[in-house]
Chains A and B, each alone.
Chain A
Amino acid sequence: MNEQQKLMRSIQIQNFILQETALFLDSHPYCRQALRYYQKHRRMREELVEMYEARYGQLTIYGGTASGSWHWVTEPFPWEV
Chain B
Amino acid sequence: MMDTRNSWAAPRELYESMPPRRGLRGMRRDVPTGRFQNYAVGMNGAGITDRASEEGGGIGTLQYEPEDGRVVPIADPPAPDEVRITGEENPDSGACGGTDALTGWPLAMVYAPDQVWRELYEDEEALSAGTLFRELNLPFCPGCRKNGR
Contact = CB atoms under 8 A, between A and B. Distances in A.
Direct contact between A and B judged by beta carbons closer than 8 A: yes
Interface of A: 12-14, 16-17, 20-21, 24, 27-28, 30-34, 37
Interface stretch (B10-18, B26-34, B50-58): B50-58
A13 B127 contact: yes
B124 A13 contact: yes
Name B's interface SS.
loop
Contact of A24 (B53, B54, B115, B124): B115
Interface string B60-73: 00000000000000
Given A24-B117, A30-B54, A16 B42 contact: no
A32 B117 CA distance: 10
Nearest to A36: B57
A14 B127 CA distance: 9
B123 interface: yes
12 contacts: A14-B123, A16-B127, A20-B131, A24-B115, A27-B42, A27-B115, A28-B117, A30-B50, A31-B53, A31-B57, A33-B117, A34-B117
Contacts of A16: 126-127, 132
B74 interface: no
Contact of B126 (A13, A28, A30, A33): A13
Contacts of B115: 24, 27-28
A34 to B, nearest CB: 5
A30 B57 CA distance: 8
